[in-house]
Structure 1
Amino acid sequence: MEQTILIAGVDEVGRGPLAGPVVAAAVILDPANPIVGLADSKKLTEKRREALSIEIKEKALAWSIARAEVEEIDRINILQASLLAMKRAVETLSHSPELALIDGNHCPELDCRMEAIIKGDSKEPAISAASILAKVARDTEMVEMEQTYPGYGFAKHKGYPTQQHREAIMQLGITPIHRRSYAPVQRMLDF
């Protein structure tokens, strides 16, 4: 009988926004329990992502969601914070993977074999699953931030630098969840 190795797909979301954490997920899919429709989270509707997120959590052998906070992003930069969130996601899986497939061209420091795959979220089902979990988790949190910081439009733009968001920063100032190391936010601090 062929021994299958545990492979984790790993991805993050939230490198580009001006506000909120960067969120990563790691998923070990169950080959005996396939999930139909996995794809790059950016190519799916919000409704489809949410449905797949529930299915992934039900069918995967293991899954984990982790993050790096705004303060960490500002202190160590967004790339390092993304890698830290990925590392945390893999390290908190209930099963230790023997191989981690990482979306992108950088790998975090892990105690297993790794392979970076550019556009992996559209090539590897486990990375697609991770991208979906991470995006749903981050989007949900940013919708909740709309209640804490009304007027910024977080529920709509999720912290990305849209015109609406930049105008809200100009009118309302920055919040504790804004990334002070990012240029548009930095310019507000310099006023």
Structure 2
Amino acid sequence: MYIGVDEAGKGPVLGPMIAAAVRADPADLPDDVDDSKRVAPARREAIDAELRGRSTVRVAVATVEPAAIDSPETDMNTLTVLAQAAAVRSVADPEDRVIADAGDTSENRFARRLRDHVIGEGGAGDTEPSDSATVLQRFVAVESHGRDTPERSAADPDEPIPAPKGTVDVTARHGADADDPVVAAASVVAKVVRDDRMAAIDAAYPAYDGVGSGYPSDPTTRRFLEAYVADHGDVPDCARRSWSTCADVLAANEQAGLGDF
């Protein structure tokens, strides 16, 4: 029994980043669990439902909204650590072992930062330590399943996510979602939740021809941003306005406007 953790949606220009933690014995997982990129969408959804329905498995999902991603007080690497830590905290028992898909070029640095936030010694960044529970509440919202305690929300200041008692052993590896079954399970959960959020975002803009995947390289996403900015003069709330893609679309729209004079 150990915890696997991974995230989805670190790079898109639209929608939230989602981190998921799964606490399980690999023997209790579906036989075909795998890196979410190698699992068909319908099967991902079925695996997610199976994991949440098993009494021996704990699942937690942490959400970082675009407004938090755009905050000048933090950065994407730190938010990845914060989201993974919040999810881990929601499923962890004392002395648990954690395997994470590393969200940093340095596996060791990511593991150290993740452990610091899980046990309550991390801050908003490497140079300014502060109470991890406070930092997590500011940037991350969490839902959890499989504990004998009520769901907690990191967005609720009256219900901080407590650090697990004792120590936690954290290992981070690049590609852990492809070679570790519990991390793979976490990657599936994160992807399913991220896809659900993107479907909801798509439905919120019926006047446009879809929002696409949310990635800057997706032509549908680019067309949506260009059309929305042309209509409203600004990017939608679902966009990460600090991304260069948004800056490019806003600048192009302003230039087109100047050309009308």
> What TM-score does the superposition give when structure 2 sets the normalisation length?
0.66
For residue 12 of structure 2, the aligned residue among 14, 17, 24 is 17
User: 4+ residue runs of structure 1 moved beyond 6 angstroms?
Assistant: none
Q: Does residue 177 in structure 1 map to residue 172 in structure 2?
A: no
Equivalent residues in 2 for 1:86-165, closer than 5 Å: 86-93=84-91, 95=93, 98-104=96-102, 105=107, 106-107=110-111, 108=114, 109-111=117-119, 112-150=168-206, 151=208, 153-154=210-211, 157-161=212-216, 162-165=218-221
8 A contact 2:28–2:57 mirrored in 1: no
Q: Deviation of residue 85 (structure 1)?
A: 1.1
Larger radius of gyration: 2
SS of 2:70 mapped into structure 1: helix
Q: Deviation of residue 61 (structure 1)?
A: 2.4
Q: Deviation of residue 89 (structure 1)?
A: 0.7
For residue 72 of structure 1, the aligned residue among 48, 68, 93 is 68
Equivalent residues in 2 for 1:26-41, closer than 5 Å: 26-31=21-26, 33-41=28-36
CA distance in 2, matches of 1:83, 1:167: 32
Q: Deviation of residue 12 (structure 1)?
A: 0.2
Paired amino acid for 1:101? I
CA distance in 2, matches of 1:124, 1:58: 21
RMSD of equivalent CA atoms: 1.8
Q: Deviation of residue 32 (structure 1)?
A: 5.2
Paired amino acid for 1:84? L
| Equivalent residues, number | 184
Which string of whole-angstrom CA distances, capped at 9 and with x for unpartnered residues, describes residues 125-162 of structure 1? 110000000100110111011121232623xx331121
Percent identity of equivalent pairs:
30
Paired amino acid for 2:4? G
CA distance in 1, matches of 2:27, 2:177: 21
8 A contact 2:2–2:25 mirrored in 1: no
Gap regions ≥5 residues in structure 2: 120-167, 230-234, 255-261
Q: Deviation of residue 188 (structure 1)?
A: 2.8
SS of 2:188 mapped into structure 1: helix
8 A contact 1:62–1:95 mirrored in 2: no
CA distance in 2, matches of 1:16, 1:57: 26
Q: Deviation of residue 84 (structure 1)?
A: 1.4
CA distance in 2, matches of 1:145, 1:129: 25
CA distance in 2, matches of 1:101, 1:86: 11
Q: Deviation of residue 187 (structure 1)?
A: 2.1
SS of 2:14 mapped into structure 1: coil
Aligned to 2:247: 186
Which string of whole-angstrom CA distances, capped at 9 and with x for unpartnered residues, describes residues 156-190 of structure 1? x3311211111221121220010011101122344
SS of 1:159 mapped into structure 2: coil
Gap regions ≥5 residues in structure 1: 1-5
